[in-house]
Amino acid sequence: MRFNRIRHKLLHKLYLRYNNDLDSKDLNAPRQTVSADKVGLTLLEIDSFLGNKKNDRELILSELYKNKEIEFFDLKAGKGCMINEDYGISAYSNKKYLNENYRILKNVVLFILPIIGLVIALINLNFKFNSFKKTKNTEIENLNSKVENIEKSIFEMKNKAELKTDSLNLK
């Protein structure tokens, strides 16, 4: 995924080189072949563009070559590549690799969002259950205290009634 942006930037650089060569030619003249040394980049130039990462260069260029978006050349100046006039320019203008990144990110987000939603729902459900449990416990405690108060008042009434009956029996 990280290489897709770099592929697009490389196609952009190759397209600019290709376009600069076309600007120097008469567009009304019959189409001529382009010169690889003018429109292409050598592997050393590509390495400097990528920050001297040869392993990354192979991964990036292999995908572009497989899709026929670049063509390799071998000149005295060195080996290199240039943009393919049909597939490469089309891939660059359609932002193929940027759209591929967007598609990958969209799929990841579509996968992760339901999981995050489920986790949030479970946490919310847990909080609701705990708050429900607390309210029920407080209600039970209130009822228990009321029962105790009623029992206490009943006990006191019994004691008073017994005292009255005892006091009546003594006379």
Averaged pLDDT, 85-102: 93
* Number of domains the chain is built from: 1
Domain annotation covers residue 60: yes
Q: Dihedral angle at the C-alpha atoms of 119, 123, 126, 130, nearest 10 degrees?
A: 180
Range of the domain at 8: 2-94
Domain annotation covers residue 150: no
Residue 104 CB contacts under 8 Å (≥ 6 apart), including other chains: 1, 4
Q: Looking at residue 20, what is its pLDDT?
A: 84
Domain annotation covers residue 29: yes
> Are 82 and 90 contacting, i.e. CB atoms less than 8 angstroms apart?
no
Domain annotation covers residue 163: no
Q: What is the CATH number of the domain that holds 67?
A: 1.10.10
Q: Looking at residue 89, what is its pLDDT?
A: 92
Q: List pLDDT tens digits, range 21-79.
A: 776 665 555 556 677 778 888 888 999 988 878 888 999 999 999 999 999 998 887 88
How confident is residue 13, by pLDDT bands cut at 50, 70 and 90? very high
Q: How far is CA 57 from CA 16, 48, 84, 91, in A?
A: 19, 10, 18, 18
